[in-house]
Every structure is written in C-alpha cells, then in structure tokens.
C-alpha cells in the first residue's frame, strides 16, 4: 500500500455519543470482524471498560476497503482509532490524533453538541486534521439533526452540507462514512524515500511477547530484523516482530510510510518505551519528531495495602499495571497510620478510580486509597517553595514563615439547557468559580466558561452538576495556571493522635464545615470498639469539630453461650473477614470504606 492509499483517522466525541458502536459497525462493514459475532464495543477490551461502558484506552484497528477512487476501483488501507471521551483521558485522545490526518466528529442527534464535543473538536482542529462531522443516533424519536447541524455551523463553522447522518444502531447512513473518509482526509504526508522515523504512540506489556509498542511510521519503512534506535535514550534494539492490529495482532513483517502498527523489539520494561519518542534505524541521523507534552498529574493519592503484609504484592501489582498505563506517576511513601505505600499521581478522579479498580480486578490487590489531593504550592519567607502532593508532608510548624499558598486552577466548559442556568451559576459560585464567558449555542442551550480551583471540581463536582441539572449538564476542563489562595491544613485526630493519612488541605473559608462533615462521617463509619473514641478535626492546635463514639459493652461471642461450636467458628470467621479490610490506626480499627467516603466531603 503506497501512502496515497492509506487513510488514518480517529473517532472523537462526547461520552456515549456512539464512538465505540460506530467503530464496531465500520469493522464489520470491512469484514475485519464478523457481524453479530464478538461483543458490542469490540475495541473496549478491558473489564473496567465493559463494566462502566466507557473507553479508557485508545484502540487502533487496521481495515481494508475497496473504493472507486478517481475513476477506478482502488484498495485502501484504513487505520481507525477509537478514543476515550471522558476528560481524564483527553491525553489519550491528543496522542492518538498525532497519528491521524482526519477525525470523525460524532455528535448525538438528540443531545447535540456537548462539552467534550467542544474540547475534542479543538484538539483535532489545532492538529490541522480534516474533520468529518457525523450526526449519529438519528433513529431516536427525539433526534433533531437540523438543530444539531445549526449548532455545528454556529460553533465550529462546519458546513451543514458536509454533515453525515448515521445510526450505528440500525445501520442507516453508514455506507457514506468510509467513502467520505477516503475522499476528504488527505493521505499521510511522510516520505517513503527518507530514512525511517516512527513515533511511539503507546506501549503495553504482554505475558508472552514482552513489551509491545504501537507506532506510527512517519517516514521510510520498517522491516522485521531491522536494528532500531531510540532518539530519547540512544538505546538500540532489534525488531523481532512487526505487524498491524487487525484488530488482533497480525504479523506482516513490514510497515510502510503512513502505516500504524505494532512492533516487538526486546524492550525489557515499558519504561524503555517512552510514549512520544522517535525510533529510527541505527546509524542514520534524523531530526526527532516533536512528540507529546508530558502527562500532567491533576490529583495525587496514597495507595496502601489493605493488609500491611501485602506491601510486596501491591508493589508488584502497581508495577505491572503501570506497564499498561504509563500516565500514572508512582513514588514510595510511608505513613505512620498506614505503613509503607505509594503516592500516585493521576490525570483525574475517574482515572484514579479506574486505576484502583484495575489493581483489584486484574491484579488481585486490596488497596486503601487516601483522600486525593491536588498539587498545592506553599511559599516560605526564605524564598523556598514546597510542592505538596501529600498533605501529611506539609509541616505543621514550619521553620520559616509561610508567605503564600498557591492552588492549581482549571478552565471549565459547561453546556446546559437554559432552564438550569441559575442553579449552575449558584453551584459554581459555591465552588469558588469565576465566570469568564456566558453565551447561548442556540435558543435552548447555554454555554459557560469558568475558572475554578482544581480542588473544587475534583471533589464530586461533576456528580453534583449532573444532579442539579437532571443529568443534562455536560462538563469538560483543561488545566490552567496557579492562583494565590488562603489554604489551611486540616488534621483528623483519633483519641488525640493525628492520623496522617486523613489530613487534607482546604480553603480557609471551608475548613469549619469540612471539618464538621469529616468528623460526622467518620463517626458513622467507625464501628464502636471496646473503648471510647474521640474523633476531632483540627487546624494546628485548634480543634474545630469533635464527636465521641461511646464504648461497646457486649462481646460478639457473648451471645453464643459456649455451646454451639460451629456457630462460634462462623462468627469468628465472619469477624476475620470483616477485619481484612480494616486498618488499625493506633488502637482504632478503621474500615476501608471510611477512607473512601472521606473523599466525598468537599
């Protein structure tokens, strides 16, 4: 396939507008997967993706399609990349776009343009991709394609006559999609006669093959057996296997200019496979490709084994999982309350949740995660600045006077039906948001832009926004600068002992309410024990909230008057099971859920 007969495109859209379903249909249409066989959302391979119905990892599939082009039947090689829609994974999207010359911008015919439609459109637009608007789900009774066309025109200046109308469910209009992609998207621009340059898009670890890299061949060609070299590290490797994702790995022995495929090259860990790196033939001199911006970690949380002895097991599980998700940062840390563990940086809360779930499901780890925090900066009178990824690491009595605190902010985009404008403005004000823009997409939908402290949206903002708008709000954000802020460290004490893993940093104005709520919440989650427990929230040495959990009188076993041994054993086992997920802090047992629930307090 000469690059003139290659097209690389991705499918981008707001969550649930039908990207993965459309990808299925295109794979079926080209005979890449058999119709009716396999599961829906074929490319969503991870268990988390199937359970949550979302795409987390971008997936590539190569398809072959014959099309009448410039008067004659021509065979085309098409690379399709299905991308995640959720804001946490926009990093995956921007990486995928680097291997594409075009994008199908899918919009739900009933819901119209939503916040991630806007974000994804601009990602594609800034990358100079040919954009093909597709209005999907036209089979729905509430579909209103004309209204959506008008929105696409007014927001993105997309011509109504260029819009495709489809239903990925019934198959209506699908036959226009691939011809439009072939006619409207330019072939990849690389030079087949230049020395090989390939962009490393993604990597993962396979039990049998070792590290597998996804690559895009920008210039030149790659053959099995070639010796290649990393522009970033200078390390060389021999390519032992090369092929395409069809969508399963199919060895081809060769990849040509403009193709997207996989390589196996004896890399020992995914740490060697740096996403965004340029690979080239050894002994050729090339100009490295621009690569990608590094992933930016928005939230940090401590991960600890639910059972102290499992540290090594957790270590192993995290190492394995980060091989498939290099966007997580991991450093070891220790906590007086929880022992040895890890401080991990994530792209957002959903990313954190998904990582957590994958640790448990794919690697059998039991973890306690501490209240997530955003990266604050504290500045002291001697000019030193401390980036705080763990509230516990913030000194309660610093040597030098604190002169300023800084917190990260985001630019948030919110799209809502006009009747909810009032309540959304109230919510954003409560979350310390500053309105930057307020306009209307059409007669029924409002568009707002806010600058907000990251901390305020990390904690349950999206759920609350959804609930006050009956589920109609859509929301997206991008990171922005730091702003000065009045922050305090809030300690939680059990029987006078501070629990380092429960410390948080909050805005001063919110400290009294948050302190009260945390203490009340903890009271409901900690079981009564043989002694009284005093739960306190404090700023420095000043206690701002307090609850008492009175002692339990009766022993569980007192009920089974010695006689019934099996019953006694059962009870003991049950108690042991319950303990598994407990963490003993000082002399108090705290269930895992308590840690989890704390993060819902804002």
Residues tagged in the binding site annotation for GTP: 13-20, 82-86, 136-139
Q: Which two tokens stand for residue 329?
A: 């940062």
| Helical (H) or strand (E) element with 524 | helix 511-525
Contact 221, 256 (CB under 8 A): yes
Q: Does 30 bind Mg ion (CB under 5 A)?
A: no
Please give the backbone phi and psi of residue 108, each rounded to the nearest 5 degrees, phi first. Answer: -65, 130
**Minimum CB distance to ligand GDP, residue 348 (Å):** 17
Q: Which stretch binds ligand GDP (CB under 6 A): 27-35, 131-139, 269-277, 510-518?
A: 131-139
- CA 277, CA 231: separation in Å to the nearest integer? 7
Interface positions, 51-90, toward ligand GDP (CB under 6 A): 53, 55, 85
Q: Which stretch binds ligand GDP (CB under 6 A): 11-19, 350-358, 487-495, 497-505?
A: 11-19
Contact 109, 136 (CB under 8 A): yes
Q: Does 10 bind Mg ion (CB under 5 A)?
A: no
**3-state helix/strand/coil string of 361-389:** HHHCCCEEECCCECCEEEEECCCCEEEEC
Provide the β-strand partners of residue 345: 300, 329
- CA 79, CA 260: separation in Å to the nearest integer? 7
Q: What is the DSSP string of 160-197?
A: GGG-EE--TTT-TTGGGHHHHHHHHSPPP---TTSPPE
Q: Does 144 bind ligand GDP (CB under 6 A)?
A: no
Q: From the list ligand GDP, Mg ion, none, which binds 413 (C-beta under 5 to 8 Å, kind-based)?
A: none
Among 5, 16, 236, 357, binds ligand GDP (CB under 6 A): 16
Q: Which two tokens stand for residue 131?
A: 């954009």
Residue indicated by tokens 């303990």: 579
Q: Does 540 bind ligand GDP (CB under 6 A)?
A: no
Size of the site for Mg ion (CB under 5 A): 3
Q: What is the DSSP string of 89-116?
A: GHHHHHHHHTT-SEEEEEEETTT-S-HH
Q: Does 21 bind ligand GDP (CB under 6 A)?
A: yes
Among 57, 65, 137, 274, binds ligand GDP (CB under 6 A): 137
Q: Which stretch binds ligand GDP (CB under 6 A): 15-23, 224-232, 328-336, 451-459?
A: 15-23
Q: From the list ligand GDP, Mg ion, none, which binds 17 (C-beta under 5 to 8 Å, kind-based)?
A: ligand GDP
User: 55 or 270: whose CB is closer to Mg ion?
Assistant: 55
Please give the backbone phi and psi of residue 560, each rounded to the nearest 5 degrees, phi first. Answer: -105, 55
User: 168 or 494: whose CB is closer to ligand GDP?
Assistant: 168
Among 55, 270, 301, 413, binds Mg ion (CB under 5 A): 55
Residue indicated by tokens 């396939």: 1
**Minimum CB distance to ligand GDP, residue 89 (Å):** 11
Query: Omega into 247 within 30° of 0, i.e. cis?
Result: yes
Q: Does 305 bind ligand GDP (CB under 6 A)?
A: no
Please give the backbone phi and psi of residue 148, each rounded to the nearest 5 degrees, phi first. Answer: -65, -35
Among 168, 256, 306, 446, binds ligand GDP (CB under 6 A): 168
| Helical (H) or strand (E) element with 120 | helix 115-126
Q: Does 151 bind Mg ion (CB under 5 A)?
A: no
Q: Does 136 bind Mg ion (CB under 5 A)?
A: no
Q: Does 581 bind ligand GDP (CB under 6 A)?
A: no
Residues in the annotated binding site: 13-20, 82-86, 136-139
Size of the site for ligand GDP (CB under 6 A): 19
Among 3, 10, 20, 278, binds Mg ion (CB under 5 A): 20
Contact 148, 166 (CB under 8 A): no
Q: Which two tokens stand for residue 139?
A: 């089979």
**Minimum CB distance to ligand GDP, residue 155 (Å):** 19
Question: Using alpha carbons only, how large is the chain's radius of gyration in Å?
Answer: 27
Q: Does 270 bind Mg ion (CB under 5 A)?
A: no
User: 55 or 278: whose CB is closer to Mg ion?
Assistant: 55
Q: Across the beta sheet with 299-305, what order do the strands follow? A: 329-335, 339-346, 299-305, 367-369
Helix axis angle for 177-184 and 19-29, nearest 10°, is 90
Q: Does 140 bind ligand GDP (CB under 6 A)?
A: yes
Q: From the list Mg ion, ligand GDP, none, which binds 169 (C-beta under 5 to 8 Å, kind-based)?
A: ligand GDP
Q: Does 485 bind ligand GDP (CB under 6 A)?
A: no
DSSP 495: T
**Minimum CB distance to Mg ion, residue 79 (Å):** 17
Among 18, 145, 261, 305, binds ligand GDP (CB under 6 A): 18
Give the residue among 277, 245, 248 at the shortest CA–CA distance from 261: 245
**Minimum CB distance to ligand GDP, residue 121 (Å):** 15
Residues 6 or more apart in contact with residue 319 via CB below 8 angstroms: none
Q: Does 120 bind ligand GDP (CB under 6 A)?
A: no
- CA 359, CA 344: separation in Å to the nearest integer? 13
**Minimum CB distance to ligand GDP, residue 306 (Å):** 32
Contact 16, 108 (CB under 8 A): yes
Interface positions, 246-275, toward ligand GDP (CB under 6 A): none
- CA 242, CA 244: separation in Å to the nearest integer? 7
**Minimum CB distance to ligand GDP, residue 140 (Å):** 5
Q: Does 322 bind Mg ion (CB under 5 A)?
A: no
User: 9 or 237: whose CB is closer to Mg ion?
Assistant: 9
Q: Which two tokens stand for residue 240?
A: 């032992």
Among 101, 111, 167, 335, binds ligand GDP (CB under 6 A): 167
Helix axis angle for 115-126 and 145-156, nearest 10°, is 50
User: 347 or 590: whose CB is closer to ligand GDP?
Assistant: 347
Angle made by CA atoms 119, 375, 377, in degrees to the nearest 5: 120
Q: Does 96 bind Mg ion (CB under 5 A)?
A: no
Interacting residue ranges for ligand GDP, rule: CB under 6 A: 13, 15-21, 41, 53, 55, 85, 136-137, 139-140, 167-169
Q: What does the binding site for Mg ion look like in residue numbers (CB under 5 A)?
A: 19-20, 55
């Amino acid at each position: 396939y000469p690059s003139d007969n290659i097209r690389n495109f991705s499918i981008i859209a707001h969550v649930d507008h039908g990207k993965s379903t459309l990808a299925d249909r295109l794979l079926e249409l080209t005979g890449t997967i058999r119709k009716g066989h396999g599961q829906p959302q074929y490319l969503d391979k991870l268990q988390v993706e199937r359970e949550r119905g979302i795409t987390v990892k971008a997936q590539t599939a190569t398809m072959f399609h014959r099309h009448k082009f410039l008067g004659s039947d021509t065979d085309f090689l098409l690379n399709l990349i299905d991308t995640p829609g959720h804001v946490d994974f926009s990093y995956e999207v921007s990486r995928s776009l680097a291997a594409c010359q075009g994008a199908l911008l899918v919009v739900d015919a009933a819901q119209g343009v939503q916040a991630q439609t806007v974000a994804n459109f601009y990602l594609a637009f800034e990358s100079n991709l040919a954009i093909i608007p597709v209005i999907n789900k036209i089979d729905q009774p509430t579909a209103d394609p004309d209204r959506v066309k008008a929105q696409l025109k007014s927001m993105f200046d997309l011509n109504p006559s260029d819009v495709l109308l489809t239903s990925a469910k019934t198959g209506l209009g699908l036959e226009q999609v691939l011809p439009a992609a072939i006619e409207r998207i330019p072939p990849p621009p690389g030079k087949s006669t230049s020395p090989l340059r390939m962009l490393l898009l993604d990597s993962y670890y396979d039990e049998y093959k070792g590290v597998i890299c996804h690559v895009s061949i920008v210039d030149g060609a790659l053959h099995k057996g070639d010796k290649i070299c990393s522009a970033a590290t200078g390390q060389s490797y021999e390519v032992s296997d090369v092929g395409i994702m069809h969508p399963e790995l199919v060895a081809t022995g060769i990849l040509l200019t403009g193709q997207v495929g996989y390589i196996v090259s004896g890399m020992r860990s995914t740490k060697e496979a740096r996403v965004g790196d340029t690979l080239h033939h050894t002994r050729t001199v090339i100009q490295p490709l621009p690569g990608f911006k590094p992933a930016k970690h928005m939230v940090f949380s401590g991960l600890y084994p639910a059972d102290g002895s499992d540290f090594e097991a957790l270590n192993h599980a995290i190492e394995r999982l980060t091989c498939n998700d290099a966007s997580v940062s991991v450093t070891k840390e220790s906590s007086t309350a929880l022992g040895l563990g890890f401080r991990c940086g994530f792209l957002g809360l959903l990313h954190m949740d998904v990582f957590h779930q994958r640790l448990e499901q794919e690697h059998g780890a039991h973890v306690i995660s501490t209240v997530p925090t955003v990266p604050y900066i504290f500045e002291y009178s001697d000019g030193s600045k401390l980036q705080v990824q763990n509230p516990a690491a913030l000194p309660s009595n610093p040597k030098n006077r604190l002169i300023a605190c800084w917190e990260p902010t985001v630019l948030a985009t919110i799209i809502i039906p006009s009747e909810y404008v009032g309540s959304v403005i109230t919510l954003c004000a409560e979350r310390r948001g500053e309105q930057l823009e307020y306009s209307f997409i059409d007669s029924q939908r409002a568009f707002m832009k806010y600058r907000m402290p990251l901390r305020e949206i990390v904690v349950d903002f999206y759920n609350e926004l959804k609930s006050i708008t009956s589920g109609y709000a859509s929301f997206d954000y991008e990171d922005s600068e730091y702003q000065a802020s009045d922050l305090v460290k809030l300690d939680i004490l059990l029987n006078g002992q501070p629990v380092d893993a429960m410390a948080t940093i909050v805005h001063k104005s919110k400290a009294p309410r948050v302190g009260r709520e945390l203490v009340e919440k903890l009271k409901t989650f900690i079981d009564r024990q043989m002694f009284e427990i005093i739960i306190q929230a404090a700023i420095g040495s000043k206690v701002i909230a307090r609850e008492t959990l009175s002692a339990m009188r009766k022993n569980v076993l007192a009920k089974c008057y010695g006689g019934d041994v099996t019953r006694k054993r059962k009870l003991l086992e049950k108690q042991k099971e319950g303990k598994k997920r407990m963490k003993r802090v000082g002399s108090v047992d705290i269930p895992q859920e308590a840690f989890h629930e704390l993060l819902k307090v804002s």
